[in-house]
Amino acid sequence: MAEPKLTISVAYATPERQTLIELSVAAGTTVGEAIELAGIRALHPGIPANAALGIHGRLVPAEEAVRAGDRVELYRPLPADPKVTRRALARAGRSMGTRRP
């Protein structure tokens, strides 16, 4: 009897390009294995080896098993800590989302 397959997707985005790869994987496949099966690092060679991983916006370890319908995500590092940025803007009398005249 054939092993049941789960349909999942693996996603990564840069400001210029978004990639979403649909996969059919065996039950018990981990997040890390799904990323390798998708080959997404070959399409986006700039993905850091230690990129944060998630499923539908929730951070998860590479060892977590995927479930049917999951969207595995690789996250880019933030260019700056949002809390530090907000504090600096507040000291300057500005706020996030406001532009200089």
- Proportion of the chain above pLDDT 90, given as a percent: 62
The predicted-structure confidence for 35-53, as pLDDT tens digits, reads as follows: 999 999 999 998 988 999 9
Q: What is the mean pLDDT of the chain?
A: 89
Residue 58 has phi, psi (to 5 degrees) of -110, 125
pLDDT of 99 reads 58
Of 21, 23, 31, 24, whose CA–CA distance to 4 is shortest?
24
Instruction: Give the single-character DSSP code of 65.
Output: B
For residue 2, name the pLDDT band (cuts at 50, 70, 90).
low
0.95 surpassed by pTM: no
The class that CATH gives domain 5-91 is alpha beta
| pLDDT tops 60 at residue 100 | no
